[in-house]
Amino acid sequence: MLNEILKDTEAAMQKSIDALDHAFNRIRTGRASPTLLESVTIDYYGSETPITQLANVSVEDGRTLAISPWERNLVPAIEKGIMKSDLGLNPSTTGDTIRVTMPMLTEETRRDYIKQARNEAETGRVAVRNARRDANNTVKELLKEKEVSEDDARRNEEQIQKLTDKYIAQVDKHLAEKEAELMKV
């Protein structure tokens, strides 16, 4: 019973780390990355469709993304979708290929992105702590119903705290890596 609680808690904490990584991928650095356009959706025959399902997105060089739509008539819609997104990118079209050049980051935009990364990291820490709280509440319920002994409950809470410390350290490590990546000129 207590092992299941630990496994569930660890799975929830790992999901928090995965969500943090996904959020960090959306924060633009000076380099081109196809993951940057994952959040862009295009109106495709009346339904909002992710750009990755309508086109091939690849890195052309360090600062340029090349987008090759599966259908030629999607080129204007994809351009419009990229401009409409809040990524601050301006696409340019040559034939059936759309190129998106990543603008150089100014010191001010770097600071804003670092602030955004810190907010995302704090959200990740809160999610890890919420998983700890839920697990501890479950253990307390089991103790209250006399399904586990006090020693087992205390031992389990200590293990949950160790897990929490481990995942909070991972959040901090990911944040430090993202900050270093953002400050690299």
H helix or E strand, kind and range, residue 130: helix 107-144
Final residue of a structural domain among 74, 101, 128: 101
pLDDT of 39 above 70: yes
Q: Of 101, 134, 157, which closes a domain?
A: 101
Regarding whether 110 and 94 lie in a shared domain, the answer is no
Report angle CA 132, 137, 141 to the nearest 5 degrees.
150
Residue 86 has pLDDT above 80, yes or no: no
The answer to whether 37 and 51 are in contact (CB under 8 A) is yes
**Do 49 and 138 fall within a single domain?**
no
Mean pLDDT of the chain: 87
Check residue 1 and give its pLDDT. Answer: 77
- Do 62 and 83 lie in one domain? The reply is yes
**For residue 12, what pLDDT band results from cuts at 50, 70 and 90?**
very high
* pTM of this structure: 0.73
Q: Are residues 97 and 118 located together in one domain of the fold?
A: no
**Shared domain check, 173 and 125:** yes
pLDDT at site 127: 95
Q: Whole domain around residue 75: which residue ranges?
A: 34-101
